[in-house]
Every structure is written in C-alpha cells, then in structure tokens.
Structure 1
Amino acid sequence: MRKRQIVKNVYWMGAVDWDRRLFDSLIPLPDGTTYNAYLIQGSEKTVLIDAVEPELVEMLMAQLDETSRVDYVISQHAEQDHSGSIPRVLARYPEAKVVTSAKAKSMLIDLLHIAEDKFITVVDGESLSLGDKTLKFIFTPWVHWPETMVTYLEEDRILFSCDFFGAHIASSDLFVTDKGRVYEAAKRYFAEIMMPFRNVIQKNIEKLAPYNIDMIAPSHGQIYNKSAWIIDAYQDWAIGSPRNVVTFPFVSMHGSTRKMVDYLTASLTERQVRVELFNLPVTDIGKLAMSLVDAGTIVIGTPTVLTGPHPMAAYCAFLANALRPKARYLSIVGSYGWGGKVVETLAGMIPNLKVEVLDPILSKGVPSRNEFDALDRLADTIAAKHKESNFKV
C-alpha cells in the first residue's frame, strides 16, 4: 500500500497484513490485521506517529521514499508491533528525535537499544508545535500497557489512539465502510486485549471527553471518520450492565458432561435466558472472549481427568480470570468416575472474578433424573438472578 491522504498534509502509512492469523503467538486473527503509522507534515516540522511490525518494515520504508525529512518520531506505545521499526526510521533520518513519555523511553531503550540522546520526553497534556499544526499528548495508561499515550491533532481534530479503539482487520479501505464488520473486529480486540483494564479504560474515555474528536486513527484497523459510535461501544463494553446471557464453555470426553450441557442449555432457553455455547476442542477462543464481554453468568462444563478438570476447562478458567469480564455469577457442571476436586480446582483459578458462585452440579457417570432436576433448579436460579439484576436483553 502507498501512503494515503487522510486530510491535507496528514497521511496514513503502514502495512496491511492480509495473511496474519495469529498475534503474539496467542490471539487468533481471522481477518488479518493492519499496522498503522501516520505522517504529519506541518509548515515547520514533520512527524511520524508510530511505526510498523518489524517484519513489514520495508513497506513503511518504501512509503517514506518521498519524505525528505522527519523531525520527530512519536512513540505512543513501546510494544514492538508499533515501535519495532523505529531504529530503521532513525537510521534513515539521523536528525530525528523520538518523542515519548519517560516511562516509554526506558522501555524503548531496553527493548530496542535506542540511544538515550535520541529521546525527547513529554508529560501528560504537553503540546508540540509543527508550525501550522499542533499535537497534544494525552497519557492513557493501561490501554493496554502502562506507558501508553494518545496524540491529538488540534487543528484537524484527529485522535491518533494507538491500541485504544483498535481492531484487527485487514482492509484496503482507509476509513470504516462496513460498520458491522468493524464493530465485530473491534469487540474481539477489546475482549482479547482491553477487557482486563475495563475500569481504567473508563477513566481514559472520560479523560478524552473535553476534546472535539472528528476522527479516530488507531494503530490497528481502519480510521473512524465518525467516532461517536466506537466510543459509545467502548463505554458499553467496559462498564455497561451485563446482558441476559450465559456463556457456556464446555468439554466432554464420553458424553456424560455433554448430556448435562445440552439439558441445561434447553432449560435456560425455556426460561428466556440466551445461551452461547462453546465446545472447547473446536472453539475460536476469540469468539469465547467476545461472549464474555456481555455475559451475566459463566457456566463451565467439564469431565474429571484424574482428579481435576479437563485441561481445556482449566485453560478456560485461566482465560476468564485473566480477562476479568463483568459477569456476576458462575457455576460448574460436569461428571466424574470415582471422585476428584474439579470444583475446588476451578474455583481456585478465578480469584480475579467478582462473581457469586452458584451451586455446582456434578454427576457420577451418566446423569440421572436427580441431576436433571438439579439442572432445572440451576436454570431457575440463573433466570431469577438475571431478572433481579435487571440485565439487558
């Protein structure tokens, strides 16, 4: 991709990675991703905001061929998919300085071995004049690293938001054109990366409220030329009430746990509770994370392996504990052969979840009428809890 004009003298530069299917050797990328950098040419100074994934640096360098001077490279976030190509940019423009926070400076020195005299550090709220354009730096820690900041271009009312409001989605469109597709990609991004920091994200959204923002230009995904809807979505995902949804990840080895899962799903559905079911051996973990954004209740279904939960169920509990969704209730259903400590093990893996644990139901072998009756009672309890909590439909 060649550099593309956003407004006069402001350009998108970066790389569209159509083929990437895994991020950080962990996160599924069904739609690829983009690594966005931005060039701003003021009447006196020229700035590059962020860089690209080092594997794709040649794309950025080719886009810079027509740029004779870069005075500043703004590093909003030290993670390598944004900062890793900065040494190459500095090699081409040896007079350029890296503008960043003091915290990011120390991280960039450690991660990229950039010389200390190449840095200019800024404080929260500080401005940088480019002549006819003015940049303001706004610290937004923990979206999603401690040093992250965003940059506001005052004259054009563009917020360069780094990972904030990002979306892993490859597209040839510069601006958002398919809102539904981008909404899903942004929600997946929030679920997998931002959800553990819901409370601080809300504070950072409030911090941005005084600014008139016409566009949001993230470091992943397309540019939001209408910014209100993605800010509203983040508000809902971060602090909105849970929904009348049970997220139900499960694994079954010999069918007993699956019988319990199917029965509870039907029982909840009869009580007007929506169930989102995830068979863990074949599940897209990103879809599971997206469901956790909205869930009022989490139910984990697992058989007993030796004396504990199935490893996939244990991984699911670990994931939920790391992501810290806003669900308020949790239960466990499953089966065992001779005994075990499934409930104790899983309960010990979720200290970060502020949930009420509803009575678990375990069946010795194939479930009987007693277990099915208990599942009906669990469905009654969940439906009543959701109604009392006034969860959104």
Structure 2
Amino acid sequence: MAKKDYYEILGIDKSASPEQIKKAYRKKAVEFHPDKNPGDKAAEEKFKEAAEAYEVLSDADKKARYDQFGHQAFDGGGGFHGGGGMNMDDIFSQFGDIFGSAFGGGGFGGFGGGAGQRRMKGSNLRIKVKLTLEEVANGVEKKVKVKRKIQAKGVSYKTCPTCNGAGQVMKVTNTILGRMQTASTCHTCGGTGQIIDGKPNHADAQGMVMEDETVSIKIPAGVADGMQLKVSGKGNDAPGSNSIPGDLIVAIEEVEHESLKREGENLHLDLYISVAEAALGTSKDITTVGGKARIKLEEGIQSGKILRLKGKGLPSINSYGTGDLLVHINVWTPKNLTKEQRQFFEKALTEDNFTPKPEKTEKSFFEKVKDMFS
C-alpha cells in the first residue's frame, strides 16, 4: 500500500517554515495522542504517521531528499526507513518534549514509563557502502560486518535511589509569589530511572561490550552517491533494561565506472570511431549497465552526433521509469600518416565530396548540448 504524502499528513505545503512544521506536528500529536485515544488503533496509526512525517520534514537534509526522491529516499525495503520503523518508544524518546506539556509534562500512558522517565536510545552507527554502477542499476543485498556496543550478558539494573525510578527529581523553591515546584532530569541515572546493579568484569562502566555482527542490507535500485539509508535497531545499545538500540546509517558511495558517466537516471558514453568507419558506416559493440549491446552507425555519421538508447539508463528510485543511454560519437583523426595515406588525404582536399556541407537540419553543438539537458 502506497504511503501518504508527509506534507498531506501534517496538513502543510512544501513552503512551510521549520516552526510551522513543528506547530503542525504538535497539533496532530496532541489530537491522536494515545492518552486521549485509549485503545483506538486508528488514532495510534495516525499518531505514528505524524511522527514519521515530522522526523523527515524537520531535518533539512532529509526534507531535501524527500522532496527530490519521495518515500524511496528512505524506504528501500529490508528495514530502511525515514521514520516508518518508529515505534511508540522511538517517538516519545525523540519528540516527547514537543507535546509533553499538553499532558502534564509527565509520562505517556504505558509507553513512556513513569512521570518524566524516558527510555534511553543507543547512539547511531555510520558506515559507507561502495556500489558499482551495475549494482545501482539492479539493486543489491550487501552483507557488512559492524562493530557495535551491546549490553553484556549478566548485566543487571536496579531502580535509581535518587529519583526512585521516576527519571526526574522535584525541587520546591520559596519565592515572593509562593512555593514553586520544578522538575529536572535526575543526575544519577540520566533520566532512565535505573542504575547498574551488577555487571561482568569484561564489561565497561555502563555494562557494555563490543561485538561484531554481520548485517544484511537490501539496497534498492536507483540509489545515488551520497544518499543515506537507515537500518533500524542495528546501532549501539544503551544502558537500562527498557532501553532501545540506535540505528545503522548507511551512506552510499558510487564507484566510478570505466566508461559510463552518470547524470541522474541517464548515462553517457563516449564512442570513438575512425574516419573510415564514419564514412562507410559500421556496427559497434558498446557497454551498457545490462552488458554489451550492438548498435549500427549509418554511413556519413558526423562527429558530435548523439544517439539516444531509450531505457538503457538507470531506474528511478521513485519508480518513475528508467533513464536513457546517450552515446556521443567522436570521429578519431589519425595523428601519424603513411606516405600513401597522406597522398590520399591531399587528393581529398580538392574533392568536392570532402568539403563540409552541413545540412540545415544538422544541429549545432550548442543545440545538441541544450537537447541533452532538456
């Protein structure tokens, strides 16, 4: 089922400012908050949709990629998400402060724990994955080894004695206006409501150990150099029995092809032919991302001619079709001639058939460049 447009979910347009985006999200979050709609699955889904939309549109980089590629910029299957993989704990952990005051500044039903207590989320990990042009064209599944922090076996936690598991400490101050009560994050547990009770000797102070894990990453066809994808839950763990792991951020690095040059979904190929091949016509084998292809060049073909092979480029990551392969014809002029070859070309200087006579239908270089980018 197709995902809803993020702007439509929040009821805003693409020109909305960051403050307008935040305001629209808060309105939706308050409207569909689980505490206001207990047991309403439809409201819960809308609550998650709003959080997903806000996670993307509130980030300038993610918003730019979404505007260009749509949902495919973040969702290639196999666990990639721009926010769609978020559960209630993710939402309250990341965005609880935006709408928390509407519910007394405390917990969020059964999702956020006790008053002020928050679930810790582990830090994200970042890796680069190199892809060939052929892998970009077809999509690929990569297996990578990731070194991540996980909770050590045998580590245990207990309720923080400072805040009694609340994650916050209350302070009462006498002022000229009367007694004022303020809440702040517990300095002992960092707001988690828990501290380490016991841990094995090989674990660090937070009860963590390093472990190598092989992660399978499904990369969709049509990704571009510099694009980032996310594998949920494959980052570092966080301390605490109710914590959630961070994410694995995958940065795409495109390996330069030997002969094909990329321009969006289109590909470009420089094809060099001899003067004789240009005059007589010929057939040539060329490289495409799908393997070798044979093309026919008519006799008298001119240098600078561009042949467009429809559908021989790269697929659109947003499923808008496939680009083309543009073959640029370059007639190679020999640099060293034999005596007989020189005599032939000297005689050709006076031949009327060798005098350049461009037809009116023949496009200029600048017109060809304009056509290429249109």
Q: TM-score normalized by structure 1? A: 0.21
* Structure number having the greater helix percentage: 1
Asked which structure has the greater RCO (Cα within 8 Å, sep 6+), the reply is 2
Return the index of the structure with the highest Cα Rg: 2
